[in-house]
Chains A and B, each alone.
Chain A
């Protein structure tokens, strides 16, 4: 978000926590809308009512660490709504204007879990894998209209979501995550933002339908 503002984009971002969102509005001059993306109609409306957009970045994500047999159907539905169906809703809302304009950049943030699977994150991984297949399909349908669609698949990145998982799972989890990358460390949010900004730029005009790992080589060979 900050990176796009720095690059001169007019940014509208959706958030659930309006206290931190307001702070970000004050810092960046972007516009915030309150949105729970699991409410698909609201997600659709948020895009149609604030658009038209040239660039759509879907970055909402939620994980619950549990082995599959310990999960409930209710949890599956919620994880799928936030991680996958919300991407359908916002893309559905943003595409018509992009098609009319003959230009569009769709960048979906997924996870290396979407390619590799995840121990303790099966439904999350399934949703993210769904994002990959969905994005490639959108790329196929809209390439002739000047629209690119790509996935950025981060590995372990130092975010509040990861810190929360470490708080619950212990420091050992942190070491496991670091070791899962070839570079032996966590990524930074800025390193992910740089790739997203690149995919939105004119320099990336010939890249579409790709899943690009930003994971210290975690998905090497996938």
Chain B
């Protein structure tokens, strides 16, 4: 992707509309016969850039396929374990390299991006198993749970929460915190925002989201609390930061989850960003809000890790 750091508009459109146009071009080219491999390539091409300086290193351990992304200058004993989005079907550490690099810099920590197994080849709960394996591997590498936080976007945001629930279920120690961007927490898609934001959301309509859910779930129940953390008992989860745009059909996946988490005694911070679309943090080149949101994540994580925030 050839991006310029300049935010000057050649079309006179607001930056958010330019972003929407760019994303639409990709989705608009897909038809019923587009293969999942093609969609994965298109996604990687749409989002990939190595403009932001960071070291990358692929690692393989038993059950773990991941990439270290490190934009810190002095290294760090803190790790953000990152789960990319893409409906559990597309997306990779390649498509999310830029976002992970920027998070590494903002939170002054290393990022380990997980290439979890994807549907339809691997359905629920394969991604959760891979996320747990990556987290356990980090601990064998000497990273203590209190030095690890989870983050993810969309399906990966749901995975942040599902993985915590899976760990709690096994009686394993939880990470220090979780950050979920435009999280997909309700695979039954029951939130009111599927109606109220249907016009405003340029891409994600309920029908498409339910099809993605089915593709991931196979025969599993959409209300299985591990597949849809909105339906889980949320007691005992660590501090959470949820960011979501106001132009998203999945807005209520975050709002409803935050409400439920608060009621369960979880320390949860919900940020709803005006005029922003699904995982707007991926468009730092065009959107100042994306950069601010990433800063906010950095501050949240630094505070959790007692490194002192900028606010």
Could you list which residues of chain A lie within 8 angstroms of chain B, going by C-beta atoms? 18, 21-22, 25-26, 29-35, 41-42, 45-46, 48-50
The 6 closest A-B pairs by CB, nearest first: A34-B58, A32-B60, A31-B61, A33-B59, A25-B60, A45-B55
A50 to B141, CA, bound (A): 8
Take A48-B75, A49-B70 as given contacts and tell me if A18 and B61 are in contact as well, using a CB distance cutoff of 8 Å: no
Interface of A is mostly: helix
| Whole-angstrom distance between the Cβ of B49 and the nearest chain A Cβ | 19
B60 interface neighbour in A21, A41, A42, A50, Cβ under 8 Å: A21
Asked if residues B60 and A22 are in contact (CB atoms below 8 Å), the reply is yes
Q: Which of B24-76 contact A (CB under 8 A)?
A: 55, 57-62, 68, 70, 75
Residue pairs across A and B with Cβ atoms less than 8 A apart, 13 shown, are A18-B58, A18-B60, A29-B62, A31-B59, A31-B60, A31-B61, A32-B59, A32-B61, A33-B60, A42-B55, A42-B57, A46-B57, A48-B75
Q: Please, which residues of chain B bring their CB within 8 A of the CB of A45?
A: 55, 57, 70
- B58: chain A residues within 8 A (beta carbon): 18, 33-34
In the bound complex, do residue A49 and residue B60 qualify as a contact, i.e. CB atoms below 8 Å apart?
A: no
Residues of B contacting A18 in the complex (Cβ-Cβ under 8 angstroms): 58, 60
Closest-CB distance, A38 to chain B (whole angstroms): 15
How far, in whole Å, are A87 and B235 apart by their CA atoms in the complex?
A: 51
Closest to B60 in A: A32
Whether A33 touches B57, Cβ cut-off 8 Å, given contacts A48-B75, A49-B68, A49-B75, is: yes
Chain A minimum-CB-distance residue to B62: A29
Q: How many A-B contacts at CB < 8 Å in the complex? A: 41
Determine the chain A residues whose CB is within 8 A of the CB of B61 once the complex forms.
Answer: 25, 30-32
**Complexed CA–CA distance, A35 and B68 (Å):** 13
User: For chain B, what secondary structure do more than half of its interface residues adopt (helix, strand, loop), or is it mixed?
Assistant: strand
User: How many residues of chain B get a CB closer than 8 Å to chain A's CBs?
Assistant: 12
Bound-state CA distance A45–B59 (Å) is 13
Tell me the minimal C-beta distance from A21 to chain B in angstroms: 6
Interface centre among B58, B59, B68 (most CB of A within 10 A): B59
Please, which residue of chain B has its CB at the minimum distance from the CB of A27? B62
Give A188 to B70 CA distance when docked, in angstroms. 39
Cα distance, A50 to B66, chains bound together (Å): 13
Provide the residues of chain A in CB contact with B59, threshold 8 Å. 31-34, 50
> Shortest beta-carbon distance, A141 to chain B, in Å?
24
Complex CA gap A48/B62 in Å reads 21
B79 to chain A, nearest CB (A): 11
Closest to A12 in B: B59
18 further contact pairs, Cβ within 8 A, besides A33-B59, A48-B75: A18-B60, A22-B60, A25-B61, A26-B62, A31-B60, A32-B60, A32-B61, A33-B60, A34-B57, A34-B58, A34-B59, A34-B60, A35-B57, A42-B57, A45-B57, A49-B57, A49-B70, A50-B59
Taking each of A22, A42, A48, A49, which has the highest tally of chain B beta carbons within 10 Å of its own beta carbon?
A: A49
Q: Give the docked Cα–Cα distance between A26 and B62 (Å).
A: 6
Report A29 CB to chain B, min CB distance, Å. Answer: 5
Render B64-105 as a binary contact track against A, CB cut-off 8 A, 1 for contact: 000010100001000000000000000000000000000000
Residues of B within 8 A of A22 (CB): 60
- From residue A222, how far is it (CB to closest CB) to chain B in Å? 38
CA distance A192 to B58 in the complex (A): 28
Tell me, rounded to whole Å, the shortest Cβ–Cβ distance linking B294 to chain A.
23
Q: Kindly state the separation between the CA atoms of A32 and B60 in the bound complex, as whole angstroms.
A: 5
Alpha-carbon separation in the docked complex, A29 to B59 (Å): 13
Q: What residues of B have a CB within 8 angstroms of the CB of A25 in the complex? A: 60-62
Nearest A residue (CB) for B64 = A31
Cα(A88)–Cα(B9), bound, Å: 48
Chain A nearest CB: distance from B24 CB in Å? Answer: 34
**Which residues does chain B contribute within 8 Å of A50, judged by CB atoms?**
59, 141
Q: How far is the CB of A106 from chain B (nearest CB, A)?
A: 22
- CB-defined contacts of A41 to chain B, threshold 8 Å: 55
Residues of A within 8 A of B141 (CB): 50
Give the nearest-CB partner of B59 in chain A: A33
Measured CB to CB, the closest approach of chain A to B227, in angstroms, equals 28
A30 to B59, CA, bound (A): 11
Name which residue of chain B comes closest to A41, CB basis.
B55
**How many angstroms between the C-alpha atoms of A214 and B162 in the bound complex?**
53
Cα A42 to Cα B58 in complex, Å, equals 11
Cα–Cα, bound, A21→B62 (Å)? 11
Rounded to whole Å, the gap between the CB of B76 and the closest CB of chain A is 11
